[in-house]
Amino acid sequence: MARKPPVLLALVAVLALGAAPARAETTTLRLEGPTSVAEGSPGAPRLRVVASRIVRGSGEASATIEVADGDPSDLRTTLGRVVLPAGHFSVTIPLPLVDDDVVEPAKQLVLRIVDPSPGAAVAPEPLTMTVHDDDYEFAVPEVTVREDAGTVVLPLRRGDATRADMTSLRVIGGSADGLSPVGAPVPLPAGDTAPTATLAVANDAVWHGDRRTVLLLNHRRGPAAGIVVHVIDDDPRWTAPWIAPRATFHVGNTLPLRRQLRFAASCDKACLLTADLRLDPGIAGALHVERVVAERSVRLAAGARRSVDLRLDRRALKRLRARGRAAARLVVVASDEHGHDRTVIEHVTLVP
Ligand SMILES: [Ca+2]
Ligand SMILES: [Ca+2]
Ligand SMILES: [Ca+2]
């Protein structure tokens, strides 16, 4: 067979190229978005699919966004096909995150764009995001402290302490007496995954029995949002009626339901007189208020007469007024400096 000269071969190649259809311009789709996001932040982070050139003609370009690495259950949406209409340069889609109550470390989420439509290509670089956690909780379900400890430290924990945060506590059960300041802000410093809330414990010299207080982290949910604080009364309980001071006071069988309940009292010797008003447990339960709705302590010189003002908790007063009448007990304890005490209980009915 005769060999074709090299010049002819080159000519054939040029003609073949010229006969091929013109290649369409390829649009490359790229995924853009924030590299740091946080659950619980207002507004969802936004992803952007950007084309290397405006999508032309009557067609459109599309591709699929998928999770390449990380936990897809952190997303409140299922990713999928994104369509860039003709004439567009980019399209934006929200990426809502699951805001759970689970304390967890910061996590990595890697997204990528795959499966381009014909005529389009996808940039290979994935989008790597750090998903920060916004949750915190108590590290233990309960703590016990003696009354003379001065303070009680409530341990908290965070899985991701990248950012500083702030919380506060409220009393949801038991006695609020003796712990303070319950409503004050509790800082959660950046970098501290084991912050603490510290409350002062009142150290009195009167025996009143151990106290139990249930505290809740405001705006938190889940079982670890609460903690039980037991305060052990370290004062001796004396039952020496021949030594203890004797309080004299008078209240009627019915007490008008006012913010302030007032009665006069005296002691036969110098005393600390503590009066509290307690609702029947059933009523207290139905009202969801503390069992003790008012408490006051006054110091009395021997034989001196003083008025004792019991101020009712506003919320308790409101609920009691709505109820009409309620049975209660006025508990008056007179104690001396050595802790000898005598308790007198009066059953009363609170009337509007
Ligand atoms: Ca959360
Ligand atoms: Ca979480
Ligand atoms: Ca005490």
Distance 137 CA to ligand 2 centre (A): 11
Do residues 331 and 296 touch, judged by C-beta distance below 8 A?
Answer: no
Pick from 132, 155, 179: which residue ends a domain? 132
Is 108 found in the same domain as 80?
Answer: yes
Backbone angles phi and psi of 344, in degrees to 5: -120, 135
Is 37 found in the same domain as 126?
Answer: yes
Cα atoms found within 13 Å of the Cα of residue 179, Cβ hemisphere only: 30
Query: What pLDDT does residue 259 have?
Result: 85
Is 122 found in the same domain as 154?
Answer: no
Q: For residues 34 and 51, give the distance between their C-alpha atoms in angstroms, rounded to a whole number.
A: 18
Strand order in the sheet with 196-201: 136-138, 151-158, 196-201, 179-180
Distance 254 CA to ligand 3 centre (A): 30
Distance 280 CA to ligand 3 centre (A): 23
Distance 176 CA to ligand 3 centre (A): 14
Domain presence at residue 228? yes
Q: For residues 172 and 176, give the distance between their C-alpha atoms in angstroms, rounded to a whole number.
A: 9
Distance 269 CA to ligand 3 centre (A): 20
Domain total of the chain? 3
Is 140 found in the same domain as 128?
Answer: no
Query: What pLDDT does residue 6 have?
Result: 52
**DSSP-assigned letters across all residues of 111-159:** EEEE-PPTTEEE----EEEEEE---EEESSSEEEEEGGGSEEEEEEEES
Show Cβ contacts of residue 296 under 8 Å, excluding neighbours closer than 6 positions: 274, 275, 276, 308, 309, 310, 311
Q: Which residue has the tokens 């307690």?
A: 278
Domain presence at residue 8? no
Is 169 found in the same domain as 76?
Answer: no
Distance 156 CA to ligand 2 centre (A): 15
Pick from 88, 104, 132: which residue ends a domain? 132
Nearest ligand for residue 147 CA: 3
Q: For residues 152 and 196, give the distance between their C-alpha atoms in angstroms, rounded to a whole number.
A: 10
Domain presence at residue 70? yes
Distance 99 CA to ligand 1 centre (A): 4
Distance 301 CA to ligand 3 centre (A): 21
Pick from 172, 204, 232: which residue ends a domain? 232
Report the candidate in 292, 291, 279, 297 with the shortest Cα–Cα distance to residue 334: 297
Domain presence at residue 1? no
**Which residue segment(s) compose the domain that 267 sits in?**
247-351
Distance 101 CA to ligand 1 centre (A): 5
CATH for 311: 2.60.40.2550
Distance 38 CA to ligand 2 centre (A): 9
DSSP helix/strand/coil, 47:
strand
Q: For residues 275 and 341, give the distance between their C-alpha atoms in angstroms, rounded to a whole number.
A: 13
Six-digit token pair at 303? Answer: 């034989």
CATH for 87: 2.60.40.2030
Domain presence at residue 73? yes
Domain presence at residue 333? yes
Number of separate helices (H) and strands (E) present in the chain: 3, 27
Is 146 found in the same domain as 125?
Answer: no
Do residues 288 and 313 touch, judged by C-beta distance below 8 A?
Answer: no
Name the residue type at position 132.
H
Q: For residues 335 and 341, give the distance between their C-alpha atoms in angstroms, rounded to a whole number.
A: 4
Is 320 found in the same domain as 303?
Answer: yes
Contacts for 309-314 with beta carbons within 8 Å, 24 or more apart? 309/260, 309/261, 309/262, 310/260, 310/261, 310/262, 310/275, 310/276, 310/277, 311/259, 311/260, 312/257, 312/258, 312/259, 312/260, 312/261, 312/277, 313/289, 314/259
Q: Which residue has the tokens 């025996």?
A: 207
Do residues 81 and 64 touch, judged by C-beta distance below 8 A?
Answer: yes
Distance 28 CA to ligand 1 centre (A): 36
Is 201 found in the same domain as 163?
Answer: yes
Predicted confidence pLDDT, tens digits, the chain (352 residues): 445 455 444 434 444 444 444 445 788 999 999 999 999 888 889 999 999 887 776 678 999 999 999 999 899 888 899 999 988 899 999 999 999 999 999 999 999 999 999 989 999 999 999 999 999 999 999 999 999 999 999 999 999 999 999 999 999 888 888 899 998 999 999 999 999 999 999 998 877 888 999 999 999 988 899 999 999 998 877 666 678 899 999 988 888 888 888 999 999 999 999 999 988 655 544 444 446 788 899 999 999 999 999 998 888 888 888 888 888 889 999 998 877 888 888 888 888 8
Is 144 found in the same domain as 51?
Answer: no
Nearest ligand for residue 335 CA: 3
